[in-house]
Amino acid sequence: MSGYIASLVSVIGINMILALSLNIITGFCGQVSLGHAAFYGIGAYTAAYLSKLGVPLALTLPAGAAMAGLIGIVVGLTSLRVRHDFLAVTTMGIGFVFLGFVRKQKWLGAELGISGIPAPGLDPLVYALLIVAIAGLIIVFCVWTKRSWMGFAFDAVADDEDAARTVGINVPVYKLTAFGIGTALAGLAGGLYVYFARIILPDTFDFVQSIAILTMVVIGGSGSVWGVVASTIALTLLPEVSRAASDYRLLIFGAMLILVMRFSPGGLAAWARRYLARRQAA
Amino acid sequence: MYFVELAVKGLVYGCMYAMMAVGLTLVYGLLRILHIAHAGVFALGAFVAVIVANTTGSLALGFVLATAVSAILGVAIYRFAYQPLLAHPPFVPMIVSIGIFIVLQEGFRMVFGAYGIAFDTNPWYVSTVELAGVRLNQVEVAMVIASIVLLVGFGLFASLTRAGIGWRATVTDPQMATSFGVDPIRVRYLNFIFGSGLAGIAGALVGLLNNYVEPTMGGLVSYKALAIIVLGGLGSVRGTLIASLILGVVESYGTIYLADVFDRDAIGFLFLIVVLMMRPQGLLGRG
Amino acid sequence: MTTLARIDDLHISFGGVAAVSGLSFAVNAGEFLAVIGPNGAGKTTALRMMAGILRPDSGRIFFDDQDVTSLPAHARVRLGLGFTHQIVRPFYSFSTIENVMLAAGHRRTESPWRALFERSRQAARDKAAAILERIGLAEQITKSPRSLPLGQRKRLEVARAIALDPRLLLLDEPLAGLSSTEAATMADLIRTLPALGITVVLVEHNLGEVLRVADRIVVLDAGKVLAEGPPAQVMARADVREAYTGVV
């Protein structure tokens, strides 16, 4: 039983880091990214490869995050060149290029991925708590950022890039900052996943995964920290709570995307705000 | 001759991509929405074709119904998903579109099973034709012919008929078009009917080409079609057509020469990214 | 008279058509300069090149003797150049005061690293409130720009630009779309800026107000300078009136 709980908590924690990291890029800074799973994958493959060479966890995790962040900044550079609409497709493309590359590289295990990853050296429950602690720190960071002037600048960039320039905001640098931080954190999640799963397969980091992460962000409310936290917990627990939900997991994600965006594009957070405002008015 | 064969095969695929991509670029040009659910329309066409063909024995009927059902689905998506959300930033209808795509794909999987359905009789698949030393099967030929006929037909429609001109006017300048009495809603319906019908036919043809239809077939083609419309300069039909053919050929050569590094699906996107870095407006987009 | 800014032989074409060809003029510190001319003369284009929103095909732009031609717009803002758009662009997801606050706190957003550690918005809020008070928008500070009529949105645009502490403010048709009373009020408001240390360069069609408040006028025609000097002198010229035939 405690093994199951540790497992569940670990998955929630990893999903939360993924969702919060995408939230920084898409929610805070307004840059659409449909290829976020690629950075999850970059972090995972980096950590996995290094761990099999004997590098300890304390180094593989930051290495995975750094690699993902670096490549994320390069991808961010593409966002500077292309228009908004193009960005969605370009980031989708990054996801496919990553997958296509990794599936063919023998030294990364090709289609079979990397297996036999060493154990984290911690009791599963302790490891789960480590993940939760990291997720907690990231929540604090996100809330801090939102209240800071960096968050204020991000809001402006997300609202109207050109107007942001006319108030002196160096839009390119802010976009790269968002991409760098968001992708590095996704890479960190990848590293954490590696020691949890002990085996990684390329398909774990495909377009469907990118959409799953996006779903958690969008349903929580793009830009809202607590909304995203809540939706991640709910969406991760759903397949556990309901067997039917588990079989139809993807279908439910799709349906939720449709319903939420159709009727409350600001997600749970917007719905909560409206509900509270009505309560106050009454 | 291998060289030529690769080019020809590439062009054939290019025609298939074109039939998908045109529908996407039409929607984007009019509504600024990335119609990712188009993949589901494509797959639906394939499923309708295979089921009708297997039940009635008539492939022709299968094609007709595939076109009709796809067109209806496309219009329904516009009416119930996009139209109510036009006031929101394009990000919102795009996410709905992704949701619809996922629901459709999963729906197909649940109803028809993950392994798909094969055509009971597929005469076209077997019989081949030789063209300049390259062996093509009849489906591939049909694909090229169908795409040329349909796209040329659309081109003529757009330049010669009142409805077509009205459509072009609406894409270029919606307000001006409305003041000339063009009904924007009718234009949009027309858009979706044509684009979705085309995707349905493409789906049926691809089903024939592979000799079976499975739930995820829409995904890959759709992703590439998205890359194509960006390459061609979002909203430009001509650009899309050219980009489709180029992508088909690039993929064809790329799969051979980059076989050890990237798989087929990545090559198209890699090409897109490289082009965008050099020309952010796409191959043929306006700067 | 010190020269605060200068444009030198600017050229730019759009789709093969030259919008500006060999444009040069100077802006003196502390003056109120109006750039006028018939439609298509290149006035807005010139202003946008000065602001850094458009890149000229050739020519140079100087601010304070520094060549800023290749500097991006946000960098010019940091040097003290403000700009308002012809079609106003407030941040619609911000309230009125938040729009001005972001500009008022521009020093804090200079670099993301620094911005991350800046938390307090009180100083910016106070400064923004003061500016909005002076500009007559005190009642609207918590409102969304969406609910403001055009005249107030234009004032918000100007307030936001002022909050950047610019030394040079470029205004693109600030009076466009305003009623005659609103236009007069806006013109009077802008007229007070040079006294506060803000040099003003204004592109306008509304000649009535412009001729009343400007120190000096530059007349553009077909992408070049046609005439410059004090308003009365310039408007008395036959070639200027001819360029404007039918418009005045």
> Over 80: is that where the pLDDT of A176 sits?
yes
Task: Tally C-beta pairs within 8 A across A and C.
Answer: 94
Q: Which of A149, A157, A169, A273 to mutate to test the interface with C (most CBs of C within 10 A)?
A: A149
When pLDDT is averaged across residues B71-86 and rounded to a whole number, the result is 93
What's the per-residue H, E or C state across chain B? CHHHHHHHHHHHHHHHHHHHHHHHHHHHHHHCCCCCCHHHHHHHHHHHHHHHHHHHCCHHHHHHHHHHHHHHHHHHHHHHHHHHHCCCCCHHHHHHHHHHHHHHHHHHHHHHCCCCEECCCCHHHHCEEEECCEEEEHHHHHHHHHHHHHHHHHHHHHHHCHHHHHHHHHHHCHHHHHHCCCCHHHHHHHHHHHHHHHHHHHHHHHHHHHCEECCCHHHHHHHHHHHHHHHCCCCCHHHHHHHHHHHHHHHHHHHHHCCCCCCHHHHHHHHHHHHHHHCCCCCCCCC
Asked, for residue C248, whether it belongs to a domain, the answer is: no
pLDDT band for C80, please (50, 70, 90 cuts).
Answer: very high
Asked, for residue A126, whether it belongs to a domain, the answer is: yes
Q: What is the pLDDT of residue A281?
A: 79
Q: What is the pLDDT of residue B1?
A: 56
Q: How many domains, in total, are found in chain A?
A: 1
Q: What is the pLDDT of residue B209?
A: 83
Domain that holds residue A94: 2-204
Q: What is the pLDDT of residue A234?
A: 92
The tokens for A183 are 């992708």
A148 φ, ψ (degrees, to nearest 5): -85, 175
C-beta atoms surrounding C212 within 10 Å: 13
Distance from CA of B242 to the nearest CA of A (A): 18
Least confidently predicted of A212-226, B6-20, C159-173: B6-20
CA gap A31, A84 in Å, rounded: 8
CB contact under 8 A, B103 and A256: no
Least confidently predicted of B2-6, B65-69, B172-176: B172-176
Distance from CA of B114 to the nearest CA of A (A): 13
Nearest-10 Cα torsion for C14, C16, C18, C19: -20
> Over 70: is that where the pLDDT of B285 sits?
no
CA gap C97, C161 in Å, rounded: 13
> Percent of chain A beyond pLDDT 70?
99
State CA B78 to chain mean position distance: 16
Strands C3-14 and C17-28: antiparallel
In this complex, the residue of A89, A104, A207 whose CB is nearest that of residue B262 is: A104
Q: What is the pLDDT of residue B54?
A: 87
pLDDT band for A22, please (50, 70, 90 cuts).
Answer: very high
CA gap A48, A112 in Å, rounded: 13
CA gap A60, A74 in Å, rounded: 21
Closest residue of chain B to A30, computed from CA coordinates: B91
In this complex, the residue of B84, B100, B269 whose CB is nearest that of residue A93 is: B269
Least confidently predicted of A129-133, B113-117, C53-57, C188-192: B113-117
Q: Any chain A CB within 8 A of the CB of C116?
A: yes
Are the CB atoms for B119 and B104 separated by under 8 Å?
Answer: no
Are the CB atoms for B223 and B265 separated by under 8 Å?
Answer: yes
Q: For B171-226, how does the pLDDT look when each residue is reduced to its tens digit (9 = 90+)?
A: 777 777 777 777 778 888 888 999 999 999 999 988 888 888 888 888 888 888 88
Q: Which tops the pLDDT comparison, A143 or C206?
A: A143
Q: How many domains, in total, are found in chain C?
A: 1
Asked, for residue C139, whether it belongs to a domain, the answer is: yes
Distance from CA of A175 to the nearest CA of B (A): 17
3 state SS of A107: helix
In this complex, the residue of A82, A88, A251 whose CB is nearest that of residue B276 is: A82
Q: Any chain A CB within 8 A of the CB of C105?
A: yes
Residues of A in contact with B105 (CB under 8 A): 250
Q: What is the pLDDT of residue A273?
A: 87
Measured distance between the N- and C-terminal CA atoms of chain C, rounded to whole angstroms: 31
Length of chain C: 248
In this complex, the residue of A32, A90, A99 whose CB is nearest that of residue B273 is: A90
When pLDDT is averaged across residues C60-72 and rounded to a whole number, the result is 92
Work out the angle at residue C189's Cα, subtended by the Cα atoms of residues C24 and C205, and round it to the nearest 5 degrees.
45
Asked, for residue C16, whether it belongs to a domain, the answer is: yes
Work out the angle at residue B142's Cα, subtended by the Cα atoms of residues B136 and B148, and round it to the nearest 5 degrees.
115
Distance from CA of A268 to the nearest CA of B (A): 15
Measured distance between the N- and C-terminal CA atoms of chain A, rounded to whole angstroms: 46
pLDDT band for B126, please (50, 70, 90 cuts).
Answer: low
CA gap A38, A69 in Å, rounded: 11
DSSP character for A119? P
Closest residue of chain B to A75, computed from CA coordinates: B273
Query: A-side interface with C, Cβ within 8 Å?
Result: 144-145, 147-150, 152-153, 155-156, 158-160, 162-171, 173-174, 177
Task: Tally C-beta pairs within 8 A across A and B.
Answer: 126
When pLDDT is averaged across residues A141-162 and rounded to a whole number, the result is 95
- Sorted by where each begins, the domain ranges of chain B are 13-217
Q: What is the pLDDT of residue B287?
A: 47
Asked, for residue A262, whether it belongs to a domain, the answer is: no
Q: Which of C53, C54, C71, C74 to mutate to test the interface with A (most CBs of A within 10 A)?
A: C74
When pLDDT is averaged across residues B108-118 and rounded to a whole number, the result is 87
Q: Which amino acid is at B19?
A: M
CB contact under 8 A, A255 and B99: yes
Residues of A in contact with C89 (CB under 8 A): 160, 162-163, 166
When pLDDT is averaged across residues B100-111 and rounded to a whole number, the result is 92
Mean pLDDT of chain A: 91
Distance from CA of C240 to the nearest CA of A (A): 33
In this complex, the residue of B92, B259, B277 whose CB is nearest that of residue A265 is: B92
Q: For C210-223, how does the pLDDT look when each residue is reduced to its tens digit (9 = 90+)?
A: 888 899 999 998 88
CB contact under 8 A, C74 and A165: yes
Q: Which of C54, C109, C153 to mutate to test the interface with A (most CBs of A within 10 A)?
A: C109
Q: What is the pLDDT of residue B95?
A: 92
Q: What is the pLDDT of residue B125?
A: 64
DSSP character string of A194-229: HHHHS-B-GGGGSHHHHHHHHHHHHHH-TT-HHHHH
Residues of C in contact with A164 (CB under 8 A): 74
Asked, for residue C213, whether it belongs to a domain, the answer is: yes
CA gap B277, B20 in Å, rounded: 25
pLDDT band for B66, please (50, 70, 90 cuts).
Answer: very high
C-beta atoms surrounding C156 within 10 Å: 25
Asked, for residue A260, whether it belongs to a domain, the answer is: no
Domain that holds residue C199: 3-243
pLDDT band for B132, please (50, 70, 90 cuts).
Answer: low
Asked, for residue A269, whether it belongs to a domain, the answer is: no
CB contact under 8 A, A166 and C117: no
When pLDDT is averaged across residues C203-210 and rounded to a whole number, the result is 85
CA gap C95, C99 in Å, rounded: 6
pTM of the model: 0.90
Q: Which of A86, A108, A160, A211 to mutate to test the interface with B (most CBs of B within 10 A)?
A: A86
pLDDT band for A178, please (50, 70, 90 cuts).
Answer: very high
Closest residue of chain A to B231, computed from CA coordinates: A86
When pLDDT is averaged across residues C93-121 and rounded to a whole number, the result is 94
CATH number at residue C12: 3.40.50.300
> Percent of chain B beyond pLDDT 90?
22
Bridge partner residues of C81 (DSSP): C168
Nearest-10 Cα torsion for C129, C133, C137, C141: 20
CA gap A64, C151 in Å, rounded: 53
- Residues whose CB is less than 8 angstroms from the CB of residue B278 and which lie 6 or more positions away in sequence, other chains included: none
Q: For A231-277, how does the pLDDT look when each residue is reduced to its tens digit (9 = 90+)?
A: 999 999 988 877 777 778 888 889 999 999 988 888 888 888 888 88
Cα–Cα distances in angstroms (integers) from residue A22 to residues A17, A63, A136, A207, A244, in the given order = 9, 19, 16, 14, 28
Asked, for residue C32, whether it belongs to a domain, the answer is: yes
**ipTM of predicted assembly, 2 dp:** 0.91
Asked, for residue C91, whether it belongs to a domain, the answer is: yes
Q: Which tops the pLDDT comparison, A42 or A105?
A: A42
